[in-house]
Amino acid sequence: MININGVAHTNIAVSNWELCRDFYKQLLPFLGMTKVFEGVDFIYHVGGRTAFGVGRCDPQYENQRFVQNSIGLHHHCFRARSQEDVDHVHQFLIDIQAKIVHAPEAGGWAPGYYSVLFEDPAGTRLEVNFVPGHGVLAQGAAFDPAGDYE
Other Cβ atoms within 10 Å of 118 Cβ, number = 20
Tell me which residues of the chain have a pLDDT lower than 70. Answer: 135-136, 138-150
pLDDT at 90: 98
Query: pTM of this prediction?
Result: 0.89
Residues in contact with 142: Cβ distance below 8 Å, sequence separation at least 6, in sequence order: 108, 136
**Separation of alpha carbons 122 and 61, rounded Å:** 11
**Separation of alpha carbons 88 and 58, rounded Å:** 34
pLDDT tens, position by position, 94-104: 999 999 999 99
pLDDT at 121: 98
Q: Where are the domains of the chain?
A: 10-56+74-137
- Select from 3.10.180.10, 3.30.450.20, 1.10.3720.10, 3.30.420.40 the CATH code of 10-56+74-137: 3.10.180.10
**Separation of alpha carbons 47 and 38, rounded Å:** 16
pLDDT tens, position by position, 43-56: 999 999 999 999 99
